[in-house]
Structure 1
């Protein structure tokens, strides 16, 4: 009996110790601060609590009516008994359950061309450099092969199916500029021994998704070596979703657009005669010896939108469904890491 009790105590200690090393990171495009959906702000708060997120990288922080969104989120969570930390930002943002050591603007928002911020977080004595990115939404060249302009979303005379032409249009955005600044800054953090985590809505697909084997899917028509994810990979950063699910056909990880029954349908549709579903929300990290990816899932409705219709889930993607409504037209991405 004594040995059995000792074994149980050891197992319990081991479970607590393992849990203590976990870090949950949530990438969350909140669709104009949840303002498009009735009670959207409350839904954002509820999801952060339900998912037990430690760090949240927000996209579409707008600070409407001279308010500070990050302050409002911190206050709302405090009213529910949870302490979080944040700082003033615009367009993208960071929320942390752990103290923030310092913050920095890496790519400031200007003319709605995207943004990128950094917060150094004290995770139980280890410094983590957390970055949030909401990249330029114009020159969304993934729409060209689907027959739509990626800046006006007007229907084209015919789809653009030449990869070089698509990449030429894509290069007119500020996405590569922003991500190059991230890479330069993040390399310094890694050199100092700090873990780097980047969450964001890139408004650009992955080169690991638009492959020759998958060009027949989602009305793509062509394989494209998208630059942002390629730059990150070449710089040594790991796409958490593709690390866990390298099979991009069975696990496409689509994050936009998703169906939301609480909003007028036409607000969800950007390319009515096509299938514009893509994975554009990501979590990247620096693959250092003391960090491991334990799991990564999508959060949001199962249904998506294609050809102006609601489409049921057909993939093998693991999805955590909403309970009391969903505040956005994106899926969120939740990654669980273990950090020694």
Structure 2
């Protein structure tokens, strides 16, 4: 049995708002000792540049999505829309007998459900209606259709779905956690529900079943206040995921990562953490 350490990380416009961002990204990856990373907002070049600096394998799909891996990438499939939203996938070969299918996704960012709830106080049916209007529900349904063949054989070849979904999880917006979400809960957020119904499990929430004691927020370590200047708190939510399917994977640990105590936006140039999202890291045992 081997361990596989997987990360989902939105690089924030390739990291460009932060000085010396590529070196800082490399430092994060090396210190965290990652094996496979799904990258969003790569700005078209970050995937190749990071992989070459690490001596790793890589796959770039359009200007937005990329996967880097210390293990060989043997197959590449799926192409995001011209907007950059959607998903791409690879097969990562761990050894002569073991492989893992890795999909990496990014879904549209607006309208944003936590703003509708916590700032605009919209009723739950409107939250779900807006979620569908955003295109994220159709987006995840397209991705799950593309993944269907792999999901059907997940016990032979495990499947991962990494990404920034720009959508909360129904596992987080539970009744007990309502005080963390403006008093809302439960909310059956449809993107996470669709992934669950397709057989994908949420590795972070498996490692930390209680959303009150372990909220796991990934948006945003740089935005304590909402950007409209009203002084209202920015809703802190978990919108980045490492999902998985298949008996060949067991969650050993899952965590969010932010290093260096970053200064809030806009005074970010000197931050050592080169993103506006926290990363998600899950360590799996692979049978």
Shared fold by TM > 0.5? yes
Task: Report the CA distance between 1:294 and its aligned residue.
Answer: 0.9
Separation in 2, partners of 1:208, 1:224: 9
- Residue 56 of structure 1: which of 37, 43, 48 is its match? 37
The CA deviation at 1:273 is 1.2
Q: Deviations over 1:277-309 (max 9, x none)?
A: 0001110000x2222111111110486999x9x
Which ranges of structure 1 fall in alignment gaps of 5 or more residues? Answer: 1-17, 78-82, 148-158, 309-323
| Higher relative contact order, chain-length normalized (CA < 8 Å, sep 6+) | 2
Q: Distance in 1 between matches of 2:243 and 2:76?
A: 19
Conservation of the 8 A alpha-carbon contact between 2:24 and 2:274 = yes
What corresponds to 2:56 in structure 1? 84
Match of 1:216 in 2: 179
Q: Cα distance, 1:220 vs. partner?
A: 4.9
Matched residue, 2:14? 33
1:141-186 Cα shifts (integer Å, max 9, x gaps): 2201222xxxxxxxxxxx2331001111111122122211222232
1:122 aligns with 2:93: yes
Instruction: Write the deviation string for residues 98-145 of structure 1: whole angstroms up to 9, x where unpaired.
Output: 111111125x23335x22100111111322110101111111122012
Provide TM-score, normalisation by structure 1.
0.75
After superposition, the CA RMSD in angstroms is 2.5
Q: Which runs of 5 or more structure 2 residues have no equivalent in the other structure? A: 266-270
Structure 2 length as normaliser, TM-score? Answer: 0.88
Q: Which residue of 2 aligns with 1:195?
A: 158
Residue correspondences, number: 277
Residue 204 of structure 1 corresponds to 167
Match of 1:329 in 2: 276
Answering whether residue 45 of structure 2 is matched by residue 73 of structure 1, we say: no
**Correspondence list, 1:1-340, <5 A:** 21-63=2-44, 68-77=45-54, 83-89=55-61, 90-106=63-79, 108-111=80-83, 114-124=85-95, 125-147=97-119, 159-192=120-153, 193-259=156-222, 269=227, 272-286=231-245, 288-301=246-259, 325-340=272-287
**Alpha-carbon distance between aligned partners in 2 of 1:86 and 1:245, rounded to the nearest angstrom:** 31
